[in-house]
């Protein structure tokens, strides 16, 4: 493996650690403040940083706002905001371990939706991977054990929305630049979350300023790391490492929030990850 590829792998692992810590901070703050307020503040910071970045690029913000798909860009931001609200709410209801075990199904949902949304052909082998992943989700949910409602269903819906967001991103990326996509994501999500968050505003306690700043900074740092990753190595090489976010977030859940890892959750998550990696391998064949 070339040095650039090795550095890309290391940066991807760091990015997943940062995103895992971001989820832990989100869970911490969302138990004390409304979810929409926490996310609103996070995206105010993210949107400001993206605007500053665009302003320093050739053509400035005006060029970055140029898009062939304004409605789809707006829909992307709305989907991301809704997905995050559901996911972070899930963190507070069923914890990081269970939430990420269920959310790990989103790559399979991307494959399932690629046909109806983008007109892509999904071969029979991919559907077998989807069936295996669905079985893993059922194992995680433990029907009849009380986990299914409502937290796990919120996270499953969040995974579905994130899959739709990812497919729309794939579509608009055919013509729009990565900078345009990031800018619209930040601005639209910040606008949506502001509209939802301001009516629920509560003052932030001084003792919570540090974790809030860490939350905001982790979002920006994670995206910077991902950008650095994809300038060094092809996406398909590091994509399997995205599952490390589940590992890191679960570790935070156990160590910080005293969550428990059920045997069924571990087995189900393993099945989902295997199905996801199999589906990824098929996409490269």
Provide the CA 98 distance to its chain's centre, in angstroms: 15
| CB-based contacts of 11, cutoff 8 Å, min separation 6 | 225, 228, 229, 232
Taking the alpha carbons at both ends of the chain, their separation in whole angstroms is 21
Low-confidence ranges of the chain (pLDDT < 70): 1-3, 142-149, 235-236, 280, 282-285
The confidence score (pLDDT) of residue 39 equals 97
Burial of residue 142, with CB atoms counted within 10 A of its CB: 0-12 exposed, 13-18 middle, 19 or more buried: middle
Contacts of 23 (CB under 8 A, 6+ apart): 91, 96, 100, 245, 249, 252
Contact 52, 283 (CB under 8 A): no
Q: So what's the pLDDT on residue 207?
A: 93
Q: Are 188 and 77 in contact (CB under 8 A)?
A: yes
CA distance 273 to 267: 10
Q: What is the reported pLDDT for 260?
A: 85
pLDDT for res 125: 78
Supply the pLDDT for residue 149: 60
Alpha carbon 103 to chain centroid, angstroms: 9
- Give the model's pLDDT for residue 21: 96
The reported pLDDT for the residue numbered 109 is 86
């Amino acid at each position: 493996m070339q040095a650039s590829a090795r550095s890309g792998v290391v940066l991807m692992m760091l990015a997943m650690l940062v995103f895992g810590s971001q989820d832990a901070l989100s869970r911490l703050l969302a138990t004390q403040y409304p979810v929409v307020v926490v996310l609103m503040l996070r995206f105010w910071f993210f949107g400001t940083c993206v605007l500053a970045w665009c302003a320093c690029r050739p053509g400035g913000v005006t060029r970055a706002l140029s898009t062939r798909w304004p409605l789809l860009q707006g829909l992307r931001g709305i989907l991301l905001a809704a997905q995050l609200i559901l996911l972070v709410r899930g963190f507070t209801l069923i914890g990081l371990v269970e939430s990420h075990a269920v959310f790990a199904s989103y790559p399979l949902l991307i494959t399932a939706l690629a046909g109806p949304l983008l007109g892509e052909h999904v071969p029979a082998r991919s559907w077998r991977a989807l069936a295996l992943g669905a079985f893993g989700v059922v194992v995680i949910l433990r029907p009849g054990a009380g986990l299914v409602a409502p937290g796990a269903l919120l996270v499953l819906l969040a995974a579905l929305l994130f899959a739709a967001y990812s497919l729309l991103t794939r579509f608009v990326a055919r013509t729009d630049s990565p900078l345009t996509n990031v800018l619209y994501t930040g601005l639209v999500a910040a606008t949506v979350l502001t509209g939802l968050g301001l009516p629920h505003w509560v003052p932030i306690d001084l003792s919570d300023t540090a974790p809030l700043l860490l939350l905001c900074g982790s979002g920006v740092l994670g995206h910077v790391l991902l950008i650095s990753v994809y300038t060094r190595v092809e996406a398909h090489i590091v994509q399997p490492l995205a599952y490390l976010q589940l590992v890191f977030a679960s570790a935070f859940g156990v160590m910080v929030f005293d969550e428990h890892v059920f045997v069924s959750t571990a087995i189900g998550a393993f099945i989902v990850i295997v199905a996801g990696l199999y589906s990824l391998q098929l996409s490269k064949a």
